[in-house]
């Protein structure tokens, strides 16, 4: 049985090393996401040779993340399958992209069936498009952005030691205003966001905020996830201030994305409002995700 353990901040160096071997673009292949959401998903990790292994859930809901790293993939998938058998749980692999789906079919022909999970598809955008907002389709976004940029009294800052606590206070205030106490999903999100902000420098995150007349009205946090993609983990703004979301997105991507082709803005978790908002930026493509289980 694999000795899975709680995810700790001290695991970041070796996890980052193994994730870099795979160079995956999916949001689940980012130490920050694994670390800040571990309580919600009951995630545990282990190292086997040069592979990072992860399991989430419990009992009949146990799932295994497609391994990241280098080496004999057939061997490590068989190891995970044996672990599931020892624990008496179904063996289900998650986080599978079209590319890794093909790898599984090559290694285990006719053995696994695949189910797409639309709510887990990542929205991948061209970084240049998010910076320029060029083209007819993005005209409404440009209009909102330009409206905001014309306002007097706004400033942009990188998140640093002097303003990080203000972002934490802003998050807690946002949570109260938006009824996190009555909405379990928002409560989980707020906990994950606060965990990210509390370990901001240890996680080597980057962030930006916008003030209007001295008060924070928007902030965002992200990082590089692989060799050609950056990922945005957090984005909050005052929706009643026209253009605030477009402004924090645009200003931050200008800082974060140079040298990177794509921006991963993560999934929509099946939320229709979030789906509509993310589709309105017209992603370059959707990073499909599948579950795999034995036929």
Tell me the per-residue pLDDT of 174-211, one tens digit each, with 9 for 90 and over: 888 888 878 888 889 999 999 999 999 999 999 999 99
pLDDT digits 0-9 by tens, 96-145? 999 999 999 999 999 999 999 999 999 999 999 999 999 999 999 999 99
CATH code assigned to 9-121: 3.40.630.30
Q: Is 281:140 a contact under the CB 8 Å cutoff? A: no
CA neighbor of 239 nearest in space, from 267, 222, 217: 217
Name the DSSP class of 8.
-
Domain 122-266, CATH 3.40.630.30 — does that match?
A: yes
Burial class of 188 by CB neighbour count within 10 A (0 to 12, 13 to 18, 19+): middle
pTM: 0.95
d(CA 188, CA 39): 9
Q: Give the residue range(s) of CATH 3.40.630.30 domains in the chain.
A: 9-121, 122-266
The whole-number pLDDT of residue 209 equals: 98
pLDDT band at 244 (very low <50, low <70, confident <90, very high): very high
CA neighbor of 283 nearest in space, from 126, 138, 137: 126
pLDDT digits 0-9 by tens, 9-38? 999 999 999 999 999 999 999 999 999 999
């Amino acid at each position: 049985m694999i000795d899975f353990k709680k995810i700790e901040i001290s695991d970041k160096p070796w996890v980052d090393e193994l994730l870099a071997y795979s160079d995956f673009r999916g949001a689940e292949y980012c130490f920050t996401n694994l670390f800040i959401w571990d309580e919600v998903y009951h995630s545990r990790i282990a190292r086997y040779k040069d592979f990072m292994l992860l399991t989430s859930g419990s009992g009949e809901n146990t799932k295994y993340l497609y391994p990241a790293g280098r080496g004999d993939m057939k061997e490590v998938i068989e190891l995970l399958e044996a672990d599931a058998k020892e624990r008496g749980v179904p063996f289900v692999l998650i986080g599978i992209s079209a590319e890794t789906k093909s790898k599984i079919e090559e290694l285990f022909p006719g053995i696994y069936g695949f189910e797409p999970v639309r709510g887990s598809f990542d929205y991948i955008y061209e970084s240049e498009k998010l910076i320029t907002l060029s083209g007819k389709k993005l005209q409404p976004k440009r209009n909102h952005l330009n409206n905001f940029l014309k306002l007097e009294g706004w400033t942009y800052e990188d998140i640093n030691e002097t303003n990080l606590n203000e972002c934490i206070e802003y998050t807690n205030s946002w949570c109260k205003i938006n009824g996190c106490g009555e909405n379990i999903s928002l409560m989980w999100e707020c906990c994950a966001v606060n965990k990210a902000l509390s370990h901001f420098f240890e996680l080597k995150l980057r962030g930006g905020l916008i003030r209007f007349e001295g008060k924070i009205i928007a902030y965002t946090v992200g990082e590089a996830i692989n060799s050609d993609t950056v990922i945005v983990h957090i984005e909050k703004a005052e929706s009643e201030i026209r253009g605030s979301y477009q402004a924090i997105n645009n200003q931050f991507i200008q800082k974060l994305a140079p040298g990177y082709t794509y921006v991963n803005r993560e999934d929509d978790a099946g939320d229709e409002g979030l789906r509509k908002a993310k589709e309105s930026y017209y992603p370059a493509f959707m990073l499909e995700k599948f579950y795999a289980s034995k036929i």
